[in-house]
Structure 1
Amino acid sequence: MIAQVYGILDPDEALAVIAAGADYIGICPPQYAGYDDTLTEVVSEETTSAILQATKGLCKRVLIALSDDPQVTYNMVERHHPDVIHISAPNFAATPEVVAHIRALDPAIKILQAIAVGSAKDIETARHYAGFVDMLILDSANPDDGMIGAAGVGHDRALDRAIVEAVDIPVIVAGGLGPDNVAQVIAETHPWGGGLADRHQQDLP
Structure 2
Amino acid sequence: MKVQIYEIRSIKDAQKAVEAGADHLGIPYDQDPTYPGHLTCEEAMDVFESIPSNIVKIGLTISEDIHHIRQNLKTVMPNVLHLSGNIEAILPEEIERLKQDFKPLKIMQAIPVYADQDLASQKALDYVRRYEHVSDYFLIDTKSHSEDVIGATGTIHDWQIDRAIIESTDVPCIIAGGLSSENVQEAIRISRPYGVDSFTSTNEDNPIDEKHIKSIEKIRAFVEAAHNA
Q: By the TM > 0.5 criterion, same fold?
A: yes
Name 2:30's counterpart in structure 1. Answer: 30
> Partners in 2 of 1:31 and 1:161 — Cα distance?
36
How far apart are 1:94 and its partner, in Å? 4.9
- Aligned partners of 1:94 and 1:133 also within 8 Å: no
Ranges in structure 1 where 5+ consecutive residues have no aligned partner:
none
- Amino acid paired to 2:18: I
1:100-149 deviation digits (Å, cap 9, x = unpaired): 22331x21111110011133331232122112211101001134424201
Is 1:74 aligned to 2:70, yes or no? yes
Name 2:3's counterpart in structure 1. Answer: 3
Ranges in structure 2 where 5+ consecutive residues have no aligned partner:
204-217
SS of alignment partner, residue 97 of structure 1: helix
Q: Is the alpha carbon distance of 1:188 and 1:155 closer, same or farther for their aligned partners in structure 2, counting shifts above 3 Å?
A: same
Q: Is the alpha carbon distance of 1:89 and 1:146 closer, same or farther for their aligned partners in structure 2, counting shifts above 3 Å?
A: closer
- Aligned partners of 2:42 and 2:76 also within 8 Å: no
What TM-score comes out, normalization by structure 1 length?
Answer: 0.90
How far apart are 1:5 and its partner, in Å? 0.5
Is 1:142 aligned to 2:144, yes or no? yes
Q: Is the alpha carbon distance of 1:93 and 1:183 closer, same or farther for their aligned partners in structure 2, counting shifts above 3 Å?
A: farther
- Amino acid paired to 1:73: I
Counterpart selection for 2:100 from 98, 103, 109 = 103
How far apart are 1:169 and its partner, in Å? 1.1
Name 1:194's counterpart in structure 2. Answer: 196
Once the two structures are overlaid, the 10-residue window that deviates more, 126-135 or 87-96, is: 87-96
Q: Is the alpha carbon distance of 1:94 and 1:13 closer, same or farther for their aligned partners in structure 2, counting shifts above 3 Å?
A: farther
Q: Is the alpha carbon distance of 1:31 and 1:136 closer, same or farther for their aligned partners in structure 2, counting shifts above 3 Å?
A: farther
Counterpart selection for 1:124 from 93, 105, 126 = 126
> Partners in 2 of 1:56 and 1:128 — Cα distance?
34
Q: Is the alpha carbon distance of 1:176 and 1:31 closer, same or farther for their aligned partners in structure 2, counting shifts above 3 Å?
A: farther
SS of alignment partner, residue 169 of structure 1: coil
How far apart are 1:3 and its partner, in Å? 0.6
Aligned length: 200
- Aligned partners of 1:65 and 1:88 also within 8 Å: yes
- Amino acid paired to 1:125: Y
- Aligned partners of 1:87 and 1:94 also within 8 Å: no
Q: Is the alpha carbon distance of 1:16 and 1:168 closer, same or farther for their aligned partners in structure 2, counting shifts above 3 Å?
A: same
> Partners in 1 of 2:38 and 2:100 — Cα distance?
24
Cα root mean square deviation, aligned: 1.8
Name 1:86's counterpart in structure 2. Answer: 82
Q: Is the alpha carbon distance of 1:143 and 1:124 closer, same or farther for their aligned partners in structure 2, counting shifts above 3 Å?
A: closer
